[in-house]
Chain A
Amino acid sequence: DARVTQTPRHKVTEMGQEVTMRCQPILGHNTVFWYRQTMMQGLELLAYFRNRAPLDDSGMPKDRFSAEMPDATLATLKIQPSEPRDSAVYFCASGLSVNQPQHFGDGTRLSIL
């Protein structure tokens, strides 16, 4: 059964450190999304790519966050420098088209001390 794979599953680091989260989308899916989930805000879209091209990153704090797709099998989300308010669960999802379900990974639980 094809799955979206995210690494690491958990990350604890100190404020100011760089954090890199990785996502392997389902093979053949051409759209990749990054979401963030917190208790207060719920799930929010950060950025997404179609055919590896960034289409929307308006939900992402651009001064410290960056999202890339170096190739079709890898998406990355970086935070530099990290801050305690970035603590959240970060989900990657992939899909075939706007009218097909998005498939989610199990998330990266990030804690910034």
Chain B
Amino acid sequence: KQEVTQIPAALSVPEGENLVLNCSFTDSAIYNLQWFRQDPGKGLTSLLLIQSSQREQTSGRLNASLDKSSGRSTLYIAASQPGDSATYLCAVIHSGGGADGLTFGKGTHLIIQP
């Protein structure tokens, strides 16, 4: 059974710092890996999706990498801002059995101090 782990569970940094969030998964047979952001009381917003054949994706100040063979992904946030404060979730879709549902990690709760 696929398991997704995110480290750290919580992180607090001053505004302006660059930071890295980590995600690992136990089964490398995946279609893709997705990073989401969740604000309190809200749903999830998709940030980046990396196909299994890709190594990284970039959107603005965000860069996500994928090393499928080692079961790891990182989300790099450059020049952090207070508006980046949220919970960041990593999720994968397994490539066996035709299942399209996401398996999620428990998230990293990020606080950017002004």
Contact = CB atoms under 8 A, between A and B. Distances in A.
Contacts of A25: none
Interface in B76-114: 89, 91, 93, 98-107
Contacts of A99: 31-32, 49, 51
A55 B100 contact: yes
B43 A50 contact: no
A58 B86 CA distance: 30
B34 interface: yes
Interface residues of A, number: 26
Interface stretch (A13-21, A40-48, A80-88): A40-48
A104 B43 CA distance: 6
B39 to A, nearest CB: 10
A43 B99 CA distance: 16
B102 A102 contact: yes
Contacts of B61: none
Contacts of A103: 46
Interface string B8-38: 0000000000000000000000011010100
A101 B104 contact: no
Interface size class of B (residues with CB under 8 A): 20 to 34
B31 A43 contact: no
B100 A42 contact: no
A42 B89 CA distance: 10
A33 to B, nearest CB: 6
A101 B34 contact: yes
A35 B100 CA distance: 13
Given A42-B105, A104-B43, A106-B43, A55 B49 contact: no
Interface of A: 4, 31, 33, 35, 42-45, 48, 50, 55-56, 59, 91, 93, 95, 98-107
